A = this chain, B = another copy of it.
Amino acid sequence: MNSIQTIVFIGAGNVATHLTEAFRNTGRKIIQIYSRSEVTAHALSERSGIPHTSDLNLISQDADLYIISVADSALPQIDLSLRIGDKLAVHTSGFHPMEAIKNISNNIGVFYPLQTFSKDHPVVYNNIPLCIEANNNDNLALLEDLALSFTADVRQVDSLQRKKIHLAAVFACNFTNHLYGIAEEILRTCDVPFDIMKPLIKQTAQKIIAMDPNEAQTGPARRNDHLVIEQHLQMFDDAEMKAIYKMLSEMIIKKYQLK
């Protein structure tokens, strides 16, 4: 079995930015970066020193692996346009099935790092779950070898499982971060700096490393404390925040009363 040494990146967003760095740290060579946007391609190219193009027809045909890391909404267009013969192509989407890139090559797979990437925030890779899938065992072995070069947590998951993992991650990460933002907005109304929340946020995350979320649940709704909940509901100026508070509290009350 050959291993993957040279890579072309299709896409220059948050995930691509972080993965190019991670791969280079393992000694692999990124030979080209493509972005639909000349500006974005150029920016990542400047930052990384890797040649770039914004023309799919100019994609190098010489890489061992093509990593397609574009917005979920942009992937279908790539599938219609990119052709790389029999070279191995993977996408990094949690959402799309492997077959979403079936027109690009006969050798396809998925390489989905379960993590939140912001361009300017560092990511430590050695424990990131890396979900892989491939159209045959040889390709799966190639992807496993690649994944193991920067994380110890490599998992073979099928497209349906990955789609559910992605949905779960929207709750555990994206929506969670939005709740942090709501907390910040509430504090702004009484001139308390958001940093007061940080030890609590850290501990809330830390607790579920060791405990089941059901055991870790605390708060007024967990205690079914109507006095507090009713008064909290009266504190909102913002109708949406109030509606979210109400809905989440009712879900928690129902969940723990049934037990």
Instruction: State the A residues within 8 Å of B (CB).
Output: 14, 71-73, 95, 114-118, 120-121, 123, 127-129, 153, 155, 157, 160-161, 163-165, 167-184, 186-187, 189-192, 194, 196-223, 225-228, 231-232, 235, 240, 243-245, 247-248, 251-252, 254-255
Q: Separation in Å of the A219 CB from the closest CB of chain B?
A: 3
Across the interface, do A192 and B161 meet the contact criterion of CB distance under 8 Å?
A: yes
A161, closest chain B residue (CB): B190
What are 5 A-to-B residue pairs whose CB atoms are below 8 Å? A72-B227, A95-B228, A114-B196, A161-B191, A172-B197
Q: Separation in Å of the A10 CB from the closest CB of chain B?
A: 18
Across the interface, do A115 and B255 meet the contact criterion of CB distance under 8 Å?
A: no
Bound together, the chains give a CA A199 to CA B151 distance in angstroms of 12
Across the interface, do B72 and A218 meet the contact criterion of CB distance under 8 Å?
A: no
Q: Separation in Å of the A173 CB from the closest CB of chain B?
A: 5
With a cutoff of 8 Å between Cβ atoms, the chain B residues found around residue A167 in the complex are 186, 232, 235
Q: Given A73-B228, A164-B192, A181-B213, does the pair A116, B218 have CB atoms closer than 8 Å?
A: yes
Bound together, the chains give a CA A200 to CA B155 distance in angstroms of 15
A238, closest chain B residue (CB): B251
Across the interface, do B203 and A123 meet the contact criterion of CB distance under 8 Å?
A: yes
A235, closest chain B residue (CB): B167
Other than the given A164-B186, A179-B179, A202-B209, 8 more pairs (CB < 8 A) read A73-B223, A164-B235, A174-B221, A174-B252, A176-B201, A178-B248, A178-B252, A180-B216
A95, closest chain B residue (CB): B228
With a cutoff of 8 Å between Cβ atoms, the chain B residues found around residue A172 in the complex are 179-180, 183, 197, 200-201, 204
Across the interface, do B247 and A170 meet the contact criterion of CB distance under 8 Å?
A: no
Bound together, the chains give a CA A173 to CA B155 distance in angstroms of 30
Across the interface, do B177 and A165 meet the contact criterion of CB distance under 8 Å?
A: no
Bound together, the chains give a CA A174 to CA B95 distance in angstroms of 28
